[in-house]
Structure 1
Amino acid sequence: YRRLIDRAHAAGKCVVGATIAPYKGWQEWDPAGEAVRQRVNAFIRDSGEFDGVTDFDRVLRSPYDPERMLPAFDGGDHLHPNDKGMQAMADAVDLRSLDCGTG
């Protein structure tokens, strides 16, 4: 991430990070992968490296099991959001964060 961010910044671009959505229930989910997802999401949220952050994890996760997608947003495979989930993700993007004052 840091190398990509540095390259984008060197090119005068803004970088908005997006957290990884929960995916428990998908065939390849396991506790080790979940631990990596949590570490990556913590970096995206807390590192200060990004010009903005969109927290898809927060938007899509179930309050009852935060490692799972909210059933109302689950496209059926526990990995990909359905249309409602995609709309929730789109609504979560702060369009001002995409400008970064470079326009």
Structure 2
Amino acid sequence: MGTADATEAAQQAIATDLITAYDQIVTRAHARGIRVYGATLTPFGGNGYDDPAGTREAARQTVNGWIRGSGRFDAVIDFDLAVRDPARPRHLLPVADTGDHLHLNPAGYRLLADAVPARLFAE
């Protein structure tokens, strides 16, 4: 993702590296009795990072799939679901987008905040 080449090999490497890093963070935090909450990566369709072949999107989906399904986190907060446009899932909701199709505006950050279950603060 990001500035890595938009090739399948480069994006697979990025996804693998992110998953490995997240897994190490969880392992180290859990070893110290610290809870870890995972949050999915938000869409960036229409931004300059969004390559026509969708290799960066595929990497984002790989990482998000791992975050959602690995069972490694004590809870998962689905920021992707909170701010993606259901009509165009690779894109942010227009109401949440600053206009660059990558960064969130205040309404977008409110959607992220609303996606965090209050029960996580009581545990």
TM-score by length of 2: 0.77
1:90 counterpart = 2:106 = no
Distance 1:88 1:79 in 2: 15
- In the other structure, the counterpart of 2:87 is 64
Q: What do the CA deviations read for 1:6-55 (whole angstroms, capped 9, x no partner)?
A: 00111211000000000011111121100000010010111100000000
Give the counterpart of 1:15 among 36, 40, 43.
36
RMSD of aligned residue pairs (Cα, Å):
1.1
Which amino acid in 2 is paired with 1:72? V
Which amino acid in 1 is paired with 2:110? Q
Percentage identity across paired residues of the two chains: 47
Query: Which stretch shifts more, 45-54 or 87-96?
Result: 87-96
Give the counterpart of 1:49 among 42, 65, 72.
72
Which amino acid in 2 is paired with 1:59? A
- In the other structure, the counterpart of 2:47 is 26
User: Greater relative contact order (Cα 8 A, min sep 6): structure 1 or 2?
Assistant: 1
Unaligned residue ranges in structure 2 (runs of 5+): 1-21
TM-score by length of 1: 0.92
